[in-house]
A and B are shown apart, each in its own frame.
Chain A
Amino acid sequence: MSSRATALRRLMTEYKQLTANGAPDNMFTAGPISEDNFFEWEALIMGPKDTPYEGGVFAAKLTFPSDYPLSPFKMKFDPPLFHPNIYKDGNVCISILHAPGDDPTGYELSSERWSPVQSVEKVLLSVVSMLAEPNLESGANIDCCKVYRENRPEFERIVRQQIRDMLGV
């Protein structure tokens, strides 16, 4: 059986489960952008409460490889989000989306990384908690890390400003 067929079946199952059960606390929604192409999804994530991101709704694009779930998918915030673990182009740097064996930062445990038993739901939950608690040890946006560490009010101000710009208020 081709890996693409496996990927498609798995993606359909995940989509079905997500729509049927919904996300915990409605923290996010996710699904294919178009039913013609199950390998491109869009996710909408609510900014977690009691963080500078509260009140924002962030759109991200999920791109699945044809050998999913053996390889992880890619996640890119569009527009990019100001956060220590999100690259300036919007790509998310999180250990759960790194395939074992390829470790860009050098100190992630194999057990924290992608494995085929992970799912879109688990990854998005991890991203939500990453928004609330950035991991400064493996920063993707170094400038943002610096602001976060040295001038927290400034960091919060930039994030809030960004959310206002996004919402157009």
Chain B
Amino acid sequence: MSDYMSEESDGEYYYDDDEVMGSDRAEDEDTEESEGEEADYGSMEMSVTALSKPKKKVYEVDYECLATSDIDKSMAKEAELLCSMLGVDISTSYQLLRFMNWNKEKLIDKFMEDPDAVKEKAGIADTPPKFTLPSVAPPPAPAPAPVASSSSSNSRRTTRSSNKTAAPPPPVVDEGWSCPICCCEPEPPTGVMALECNHAFCTDCWQTYLTGKIREEGEHSIRCMESGCNDLVSDTVILGTVPDAPKEGSVVLDDETKDKFKELLVRFFVQCNSALRFCPAPGCDYTVQCAAASTKSSLETTVPTVRCTNGHSFCFGCGEEGDHRPLICTIAKLWLKKCQDDSETANWIKTNTKECPKCHSTIEKNGGCNHMTCKKCKNEFCWVCMGPWSEHGNAWYSCNRYEEKEGVDARDAQSKSRASLERYLHYYNRWANHEQSARLSLDLYAKTEKKMQEMQETSELTWIQVQFAKKAVDEVIKCRMTLKWTYAMGYYLEKSNQKELFEDNQRDLEKAVEALSELLERPIEPETVASLRQQITDKTVYVLKRNEVMLEDTANGFLEGRWAWNTSISPFIE
């Protein structure tokens, strides 16, 4: 956000600067606009008024960037709230919330109705164990339990019911017990662990199981190993934070696995909360909170482009990296899919080729007469009627008559298919061109850096005075991004007056961007550098304004429902 603010204030600065500086700028702009439509002036004025307001623009959204620790805090806050409300301990509270996909209201509702049923479904047992293993010894009534077993049971009890003061539960295992999985015979209590359900396994097996579940399957709610047993392994067992736990009889997972588990918890929380989204940039662990774009319907009218603290910008709505303004998520996705599909390749093949009637090889005719000989199967046929050529050399020749009716139909069908292909290619080429230019932005920055150096050496301009060039490159790249997506939008817009206005805006922006790009390519000469600087500065401001106009007008169009699409977008809005 701070980035944005500084950029904007820069813009304002330039703007004010321009007002003071020179009338030649105004002249320049006039010639630019001379072919423009009146509507453009109208929207320009609008943008001027919008610019003078420090408030957020119509195409921007409010959002906040959160670190993992912030997420941890909000998770803890919710869990603690539930703790006091439902009268459960904190670990149980976390597990109940996860079970209900962090839907607090639903959890409270259900819990008030029937706490035991919810707990049982969630796999949180605080009832006496119902199952007994064949090897589990019956609780020796008054007799002193073997020291080993009692301390083992103590260790597992503390996992969840630390508030329980009831008599010590029956021992988990008997002497001579062996783990049902690996058949080892560990020394109780150090080697044995069981949850509330009393399904005992050796700690080695538990460790392998938990590590696998966390690292390979990415599960955040892990059940008891016994098949069919619903009991959850509590977080405290996994994280090894059992309050005043004796070291024996408990599982010790390595730190990497514990970190992964914590990450899974955070990921799940973010996933459940529609107002949160992870930064999609690899290795970035910031989360963006954006309440304005948390519903599906809001995405039909807004493009919530956000930027995390690390500076990665992405769309909050669809998670697409970069910025696909002004086009809304559903249509942007549609376009990307269309470009990725090779359906257009098929379209080309359909338009430009025919198949050999015999072996069905695809043939493109690039000249010569209509007597075709298939290279593969040596079949000879007529390109026009697709019939065998042998009939063309004798008295039954009928290719001309055949063409009269069928040929006209075929030509019609072909030109239609060609027109839709050409339309797509028109938009695609322009889209791809801007994308390519944006991709070369790193080169452009390097080149500009050099130029700025050169300017400082050959003229009297100071470092601060040559920053205009970098600013101009920033703006060009930003605008190319906008332009790129306007072409995708143009492809899907129904032909109408609104679309013409849209295209006018697009043209003005593109023309200005190209002009600015060209200025940036100009060689630096000591005598003209001052005027070049002037021109570039002016153009940058103009481009910035045109970009605002473009974005604002399209955003308003979405809000007003002004855009008509030539494709049905409803099935894509879930």
Contacts and interface: CB of A to CB of B under 8 A. Distances in A.
Question: What are the 9 closest A-B residue pairs judged by CB atoms, nearest first?
Answer: A13-B183, A116-B181, A9-B183, A6-B182, A10-B183, A117-B227, A101-B217, A117-B226, A115-B227
B184 A117 contact: no
A115 B208 contact: no
Given A111-B228, A118-B227, A9 B184 contact: yes
B178 A13 contact: yes
Nearest to B224: A117
B216 A116 contact: no
Interface in B190-229: 205, 208-209, 212, 216-217, 223, 225-228
- The interface size bin for chain A is 10 to 19
B489 to A, nearest CB: 37
Interface of A: 1, 6, 9-10, 12-13, 69-70, 100-101, 110-111, 115-118
B227 A9 contact: no
24 contacts: A1-B184, A6-B182, A6-B183, A6-B184, A9-B182, A9-B183, A9-B184, A10-B181, A10-B182, A13-B183, A69-B181, A69-B182, A100-B217, A101-B216, A110-B217, A115-B225, A115-B227, A116-B205, A116-B209, A116-B225, A117-B180, A117-B181, A117-B227, A118-B227
A111 B226 CA distance: 10
A101 to B, nearest CB: 5
Please report whether the interface of chain A is mostly helix, strand, loop or mixed according to DSSP. Answer: loop
* Most B Cβ at <10 Å: residue of A69, A115, A116: A116
A117 B217 contact: no
Contacts of A13: 178, 183
A101 B217 CA distance: 6
Contact of B227 (A6, A69, A111): A111
B419 to A, nearest CB: 42
Contacts of B228: 111
A117 B180 CA distance: 7
A118 B181 CA distance: 9
A135 to B, nearest CB: 18
A117 B225 contact: yes
Nearest to B205: A116
A69 B181 CA distance: 7
Interface string B214-253: 0011000001011110000000000000000000000000
Interface string B174-191: 000010111110000000
Contacts of A100: 217
A118 to B, nearest CB: 6
A6 B368 CA distance: 76
Nearest to B216: A101
Given A13-B178, A70-B208, 8 more contacts: A6-B182, A10-B183, A69-B181, A70-B212, A111-B223, A111-B227, A116-B181, A117-B227
Contacts of A69: 181-182
Contacts of B209: 116
B362 to A, nearest CB: 32
